Copies of this chain bind each other. A is one copy, B any other.
Amino acid sequence: MAQSTDREAVRALLDEVRAEGRTSLTAPEAKRIADAYGIAVPGEELAGDADAAVAYAAAFDGPVVLKIVSPDILHKTDAGGVEVGLKGEDEIRAAYDRIIANARAYNADARIEGIQVQQMLPPGQEVIVGAVTDPTFGKVVAFGLGGVLVEVLKDITFRLAPVTADEAAGMLDSIGAAEILRGVRGGAAVDREALAEQIRRVSDLVTDFPEIAEVDLNPVIATPEAALAADVRIILAESVPEPRRRYTREEILASMNRLMKPRSVAVIGASNEDGKIGNSVMKNLVNGGFAGDIYPVNPKADDILGRKAYKTVGEIPGEVDVAVFAIPAKFVAGALEEVGRKHIPNAVLIPSGFAETGEHELQQKIVDIAAEHNVRVLGPNIYGYYSTWQDLCATFCTPYDVKGPVALTSQSGGIGMAILGFARTTKTGVSAIVGLGNKSDVDEDDLLTYFGEDENTQCIAMHLEDLKDGRAFVEAARATVPKKPVVVLKAGRTAAGAKAAGSHTGALAGDDAVYDDILRQAGVIRAPGLNEMLEYARALPVLPTPQGDNVVIITGAGGSGVLLSDAIVDNGMKLMEIPPDLDEAFMAYIPPFGAAGNPIDITGGEPPSTYEATIRLGLTDPRIHALVLGYWHTIVTPPMVFAELAARVVAEERAKGNVKPVVASLAGDTEVEEACAYLFERGVVAYPYTTEKPVAVLGAKYRWARAAGLLT
What is A's interface to B at a CB cutoff of 8 Å?
147-149, 151-153, 176-177, 179-180, 184-185, 275, 280, 352-353, 356-358, 396-398, 410-415, 417-418, 420-422, 424-425, 463, 465, 489, 491-497, 499-501, 503-505, 528-531, 534, 553, 555-570, 574-575, 592-593, 595-597, 599, 601, 604-605, 630, 632-633, 635, 667-673, 688-693
Bound-complex Cα distance A531 to B564 (A): 12
- Other contacts beyond A412-B558, A422-B689, A534-B689: 6, CB < 8 A: A275-B635, A412-B560, A414-B556, A420-B669, A493-B566, A504-B559
Q: Are B690 and A601 in contact (CB under 8 A)?
A: no
Q: Are A151 and B184 in contact (CB under 8 A)?
A: yes
- Measured CB to CB, the nearest residue on chain B to A599 is B500
Q: Are A491 and B529 in contact (CB under 8 A)?
A: no
What are the 10 closest A-B residue pairs judged by CB atoms, nearest first? Answer: A412-B559, A414-B557, A357-B593, A497-B566, A494-B569, A418-B667, A504-B558, A529-B692, A414-B632, A531-B690
Q: Are B504 and A417 in contact (CB under 8 A)?
A: no
Cβ of A534: which chain B residues have Cβ within 8 Å of it? 689
Q: Are A421 and B567 in contact (CB under 8 A)?
A: no
Bound-complex Cα distance A491 to B411 (A): 38
Indicate how many identical chains form the complex. 2
Q: Are B593 and A417 in contact (CB under 8 A)?
A: no
Could you say which of B356, B504, B557 contacts A412, with CB atoms under 8 Å apart? B557
Q: Are B669 and A421 in contact (CB under 8 A)?
A: yes
A504-B562 contact in complex given A151-B185, A153-B153, A418-B667, C-beta closer than 8 Å: yes
Q: Are A562 and B500 in contact (CB under 8 A)?
A: yes
Bound-complex Cα distance A565 to B504 (A): 12
- Measured CB to CB, the nearest residue on chain B to A146 is B185
Q: Are A633 and B177 in contact (CB under 8 A)?
A: no
Could you say which of B151, B558, B633 contacts A421, with CB atoms under 8 Å apart? B633
- Min CB distance A287 to B, Å, is 15
Q: Are A530 and B562 in contact (CB under 8 A)?
A: no
A569-B148 contact in complex given A414-B556, A531-B690, C-beta closer than 8 Å: no
- Min CB distance A275 to B, Å, is 6
A557-B668 contact in complex given A185-B148, A531-B692, C-beta closer than 8 Å: no
Q: Are B417 and A669 in contact (CB under 8 A)?
A: yes
Cβ of A667: which chain B residues have Cβ within 8 Å of it? 414-415, 417-418, 421
Could you say which of B153, B357, B497, B596 contacts A569, with CB atoms under 8 Å apart? B497
Bound-complex Cα distance A148 to B147 (A): 13
Could you say which of B357, B597, B668 contacts A418, with CB atoms under 8 Å apart? B668
A413-B562 contact in complex given A184-B151, A692-B529, C-beta closer than 8 Å: no
Bound-complex Cα distance A418 to B604 (A): 14
Could you say which of B463, B595, B597 contacts A559, with CB atoms under 8 Å apart? B463
A565-B418 contact in complex given A465-B559, A597-B503, C-beta closer than 8 Å: no
Q: Are A147 and B185 in contact (CB under 8 A)?
A: yes
Give me 20 A-to-B residue pairs in the complex whose CB atoms sit less than 8 angstroms apart, sorted by A's number: A153-B176, A352-B605, A353-B593, A356-B558, A356-B593, A412-B562, A415-B560, A421-B673, A422-B689, A425-B673, A491-B563, A494-B568, A496-B566, A497-B566, A500-B558, A500-B565, A504-B558, A529-B567, A530-B563, A530-B689
